[in-house]
């Protein structure tokens, strides 16, 4: 069965976060989210989400650049073109078209969901998933005091989260993590994420974290660095996990060759979609590198894609896949994503496609701009 995109609708919605989320490179209070609706000629329709944030403080992309890239370059390459399978979409988007990976991913992933829906299979099954439920972690933003962090980490542990990730930056690091370690005990599954807040000059500071039994330290150095991470990894016992620096399969090969890290956070939006995510997953599996699925404060639409990906076999560590209620008073999908008291989330395997339904009325109320694209010829 072939695959052909007939119409693409872009909508920006604005969803207020329950609590502002602060990382070392910026803060978000209201999440501006780009939702896409893909339709084929037979009227099969699926929703997808572009994870680009408001500001280019994570990678170089932002919601406004992604909107432009989808409209000017991604959509014209795909609308009206026939593909034998969704794995052909990413190569078509990469030809003479540099970067804009989040923009590409939003549409590429939608094409996988469109294909799964047309075939009548769940998205997770279409990707090669093997799990019926996945383990969930939480990502805690930088707090103003160690006590405030301890309170939030304590609540997360009680709720059953299998991994507690703590955002750090110079001045809010060792003291903060130590307070949580002392409060939650030696077995609590803790990790830190610096979002590029350090340089090699801070190696001694980061070595202090070595004594706190962290599962890993995520992206301590520059967003596009591999060489300095390799130098730092030689000085740390704790595994380095790369996030921002892994933008393609080639970057994982470089990481392996250089020794820049021992764990990979896969965010499909960051690497250009599912074809690249699966290739990275497979390469890591062959090299005994554990992977987990990261998050970008997605709505319930984006969550569906991440959960499907996290059902692949080498996603052996809990992902940043919190339930909707961790972020929003009300999500845009039904059923909402929920987590069990044991920190697990079910992979929807009962129906074709992404497994949740978008609440159109709610999306309409939250929409601040909308644009419909069809083939121009
Ligand atoms: O580095 O993983 C990150 C959110 C925005 C930008 C970068 C990151 C994050 C998170 C959020 O950690 C994880 C989540 O979606 O819950
Ligand atoms: Mg990260």
Neighbours of 233 (CB within 10 A): 21
Instruction: Encode pLDDT of 19-64 as tens digits.
Output: 999 999 999 999 999 999 999 999 999 999 999 999 999 999 999 9
pLDDT per position as a tens digit, 60-108: 999 999 999 999 999 999 999 999 999 999 999 999 999 999 999 999 9
Question: What are the structure tokens assigned to 331, written together?
Answer: 């999500």
Ligand 1 lined by 294 (C-beta under 6 Å): yes
> In terms of residues, how long is the chain?
377
pTM for the predicted model, two decimal places = 0.98
Q: Assign residue 43 a region (left: φ > 0; alpha: ψ between -120 and 50; beta: otherwise).
A: left
Q: Which atom of ligand 1 is nearest to the CA of 326?
A: 16
Distance 188 CA to ligand 2 centre (A): 20
Distance of CA 121 from the midpoint of ligand 1 (Å) = 29
Catalytic residue ranges:
167, 267
DSSP readout, 295-339? --S--HHHHHHHHHHHTSTTB-S-EE---GGGT-SS-SEESPP--
Report the nearest atom of ligand 1 relative to the CA of 298. 15
pLDDT in tens, 226-277: 999 999 999 999 999 999 999 999 999 999 999 999 999 999 999 999 999 9
- Which ligand has its closest atom nearest to the C-alpha of 166? 1
Please tell me if the CB atom of residue 297 comes closer than 6 angstroms to any atom of ligand 1: yes
User: How many CB atoms are closer than 10 A to CB 213?
Assistant: 15
How many angstroms separate the CA atoms of 160 and 157, rounded? 5
Which ligand has the nearest atom to the CA of 31?
Answer: 1
CA 298 / ligand 2 centre spacing (Å): 14
Q: What is the pLDDT of residues 166-182, one digit of tens each?
A: 999 999 999 999 999 99
């Amino acid at each position: 069965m072939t695959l052909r995109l007939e119409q693409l609708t872009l909508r920006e919605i604005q969803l207020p976060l329950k609590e502002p989320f602060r990382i070392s490179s910026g803060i978000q209070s209201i999440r501006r989210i780009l939702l896409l609706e893909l339709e084929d000629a037979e009227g099969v329709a699926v929703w997808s989400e572009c994870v680009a944030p408001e500001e280019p403080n994570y990678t170089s992309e932002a919601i406004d650049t992604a909107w432009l890239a989808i409209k000017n370059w991604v959509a014209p390459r795909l609308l009206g073109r026939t593909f034998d399978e969704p794995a052909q979409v990413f190569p078509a988007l990469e030809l003479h078209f540099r970067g804009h990976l989040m923009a590409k991913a939003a549409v590429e992933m939608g094409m996988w969901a469109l294909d799964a829906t047309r075939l009548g299979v769940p998205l997770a099954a279409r990707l090669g998933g093997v799990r019926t439920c996945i383990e969930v972690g939480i990502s805690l933003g930088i707090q103003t005091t160690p006590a405030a962090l301890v309170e939030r980490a304590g609540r997360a542990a009680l709720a059953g989260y299998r991994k507690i990730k703590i955002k750090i930056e110079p001045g809010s690091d060792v003291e903060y993590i130590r307070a949580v370690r002392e409060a939650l005990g030696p077995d609590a599954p803790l990790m830190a994420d610096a979002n590029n807040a350090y340089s090699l000059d801070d190696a001694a500071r980061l070595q202090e974290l070595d004594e706190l039994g962290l599962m890993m330290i995520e992206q301590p150095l520059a967003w596009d660095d591999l060489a300095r991470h390799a130098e730092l990894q030689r000085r740390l016992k704790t595994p380095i996990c790369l996030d921002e620096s892994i933008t393609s399969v080639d970057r994982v090969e470089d990481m392996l060759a250089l020794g820049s890290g021992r764990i990979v956070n896969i965010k499909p939006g960051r690497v250009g979609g599912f074809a690249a995510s699966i290739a990275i997953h497979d390469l890591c599996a062959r090299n005994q590198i554990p992977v987990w699925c990261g998050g970008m404060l997605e709505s319930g639409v984006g969550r569906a894609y991440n959960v499907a990906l996290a059902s692949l076999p080498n996603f052996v560590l809990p992902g940043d896949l919190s339930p909707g209620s961790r972020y929003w008073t009300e999500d845009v999908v039904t059923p909402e994503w929920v987590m069990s008291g044991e920190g697990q989330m079910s992979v929807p395997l009962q129906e074709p496609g992404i497994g949740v339904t978008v609440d159109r009325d709610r999306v309409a109320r939250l929409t601040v701009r909308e644009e419909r694209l069809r083939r121009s010829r």
